[in-house]
Amino acid sequence: MKKRGQVWVETVIYTLIAFVIIGAVLAYAKPKIQEMQDKTLIEQSAKILQDFDNIISNIGEAGNQREIRVEIKKGKLIVDGKNNRIVFEIQSSYAYSEPDVEFNEMGIVGITKKAGNFFNVSLTADYLDKKNISYNNKDENLYLTKSSTDYKLFLKNIGTDEGGLTIIDFKLN
């Protein structure tokens, strides 16, 4: 009878030890997994901004239109018609660059700022002196946030403004 009770006590102790080990591994691994996911999301977002830049640069004559699908799993994408730029912002556990130091990579300006235990990463494609960006034919902002489905955007060359800049209009479908 004593041996039977000892087996149950040992089973419970071994189970508790296994749970503690699993908990310790998860406590270390989960933040690292989150960092890697954030790094991938930021790199994908930089690629999306480069795709926008490629379309905007090569859209052609007035009346031409291109479609692009954008998936946002975290963060937000801002088509800033007032300032003629496209911005991606995300709060991340991954420091994409050295905090408070701007970097320029293939026409995309980025900056990482420390915010408590997280980092605010901002990637910007600026068209201030190159193109006139608009949303629904107005100098307004379009905000795209986390969504389970892709956003379907149309970019259209409307012509030139009074300053001679090509107007690229964004429409959300």
Query: Sheet holding 85-92: strands in order across?
Result: 103-105, 108-115, 118-126, 85-92, 76-80, 141-145
**pLDDT for the residue numbered 77:** 95
**pLDDT for the residue numbered 3:** 67
Tens of pLDDT, residues 24-67: 999 989 999 999 999 999 999 999 999 999 999 888 888 899 99
Calpha distance 89→122 (Å, rounded): 5
**pLDDT for the residue numbered 64:** 93
**pLDDT for the residue numbered 1:** 53
**pLDDT for the residue numbered 125:** 93
CA distances from 145 to 5, 102, 148, 158 (A): 57, 24, 10, 26
Residue 75 Rama label (left phi>0; alpha psi -120 to 50; beta): left
- The residue range of the domain holding 143 is 2-172
Q: 0.85 cut: is pTM over it?
A: no
Calpha distance 49→57 (Å, rounded): 12
DSSP 109-139: EEEEEEETTEEEEEEEEE-TTTEEEEETTBS
- pLDDT under 70: residue ranges of the chain: 1-3
| Domain count across the chain | 1
**pLDDT for the residue numbered 173:** 85
The b/e string for 113-142 (b: 16+ C-beta within 10 A; e otherwise) is: eeeeeebbbbbbbbbeeebbbbbeeeeeeb
